[in-house]
Amino acid sequence: MSPNAVTTTIAEPLPVLGRDVTVPLVTGGEVTYAALDYAASAPALQRVWDDVAAYAPYYGSVHRGAGYLSQLSTDLFENSRRTVAEFLGCRPGDQVVFTRSTTDSLNLLAAVLPAGCQVFVFETEHHASLLPWREARVSYLNAPRTPAEAVATLERALAERDSEGPALVCVTGASNVTGELWPVRELAAVAHAHGARIVLDAAQLAPHHPVDIAALDVDWVAFSGHKLYAPFGSGVLAGRADWLQDAEPYLAGGGASRAVARRSDGGVDVVWHSTAARHEAGSPNVIGVYAIAAACRALTEAGFDALVDREQRLVARVRAGLAEVPEVKVLSLFGDEAPRVGVLSFVVEGWNSSHFAAALSAEYGIGVRDGLFCAHPLVRTLLGTDPQDPGECGAPEAEPGERSLNAIRVSFGAGTPDEHVDRFVRAVRELVSDGARWNYRTEDGRCVPDRDGATA
């Protein structure tokens, strides 16, 4: 984030799309929808939507046209790259490559790893960080139970690695399951002390907390626009240029190539770009890129200090409310006092998590997430191996005894009104004490309200 970022006191949530949408309740009537699934996709900021709408009439091809709209769009596209670089505190020489998502960014990085690279990744990662390294030698590290243990585990693994070749550490900034902050700066120091590089999965960190590549001393940062209050399918991989420049393009095609010529033997010679364009083949998603840049500007101008303060007040309210319900167990790796962003997962004694989430939606108009959150090893570690009663709802295609191995996740951020958090806490308390007011059934693997209606 720019050192000149404006910081102001934010007493109200930032305006987002959908803030006035009403949804029907199975018990009758309608209620304003409480979107508490920010960790999956945050609602777009109204400011971002307005910026994109203002540009839309001027949409044109990027890097390809001589016309005014094409030139304007090209300038907007490259200015967006500079905006993102400033938002992330990029160093001189760093590149900002636009992708489709965090998953796409990390797969891009996996594709440019030098030969013989060894990758170290904790089992606690989201699948986007856990799975892309299929062509590399991967060491999966056990789930740590404290930040200090995370640092010690990585230290030991790097010290014991079996070669002096290239190595990469991949780590999250904030867990998509527990919301807990990871010791990124300390892990980066350990990685560099052992000659390894480190990539930060900032998908859950960037929307909630400043991310500064230089201050954290990480080599790359990856994040998604749809987590950062931008509505379109774009992502970012930002950081060191050398591995990106030395590798074959992630996609081969127009835009990545600087010159193409036929050879006398009938083949083709290609000179690839050495800039970020090397890995941005094809017509780019200029609208999505501009949306990310607009979100970066909006968050910077709002002031991250104030946004963090307000979100932490919401976190405290949710945690205090859930603590008053003995049947609720909040999941945590690092303990109750660990700092976290606005993401919490929990289970409720006597309830299948899918059933509970369905009741929150159908009876209270509250949208949360249930399941394993694309972090299956982590959730299984947090839940243990003793299955609870799956209740009347659950995914029938799951392995025997595994239907209860899911949890409920509530997540929120800069656009969340206080009322949504208060309604959620109240709904949890009422469901636990009084039970659901409606019957539910399993349909296509999901728990949904039953056509038979209310409970007796």
Which residues make Cβ contacts (< 8 Å) with residue 280, sequence separation at least 6?
Answer: 97, 98, 255, 256
Choosing from 90, 374, 393, 447, which is the catalytic residue? 374
Place of tokens 């939606």: 361
Q: CA-to-CA distance for 317 and 324, rounded, in angstroms?
A: 11
DSSP H stretches of helix in 324-406: 353-364, 376-383
Nearest to 110 by CA among 288, 237, 261: 237
Place of tokens 């945050």: 42
Per DSSP, the three-state class of 48 is helix
Q: Are strands 197-201 and 167-172 parallel, antiparallel or unpaired?
A: parallel
Question: Is 170 marked active-site?
Answer: no
Nearest to 207 by CA among 237, 185, 229, 234: 229
Under a CB-based contact definition with an 8 Å cutoff, are residues 123 and 144 in contact?
A: no
Nearest to 403 by CA among 391, 413, 417: 391
Q: Using CB atoms within 10 A of its CB, is residue 352 exposed (0-12), middle (13-18) or buried (19+)?
A: buried
Which residues make Cβ contacts (< 8 Å) with residue 366, sequence separation at least 6?
Answer: 34, 36, 360, 420, 423, 424, 427
Q: Using CB atoms within 10 A of its CB, is residue 110 exposed (0-12), middle (13-18) or buried (19+)?
A: buried
Q: How far is CA 25 from the centre of its chain?
A: 30
Residues serving a catalytic function are 374
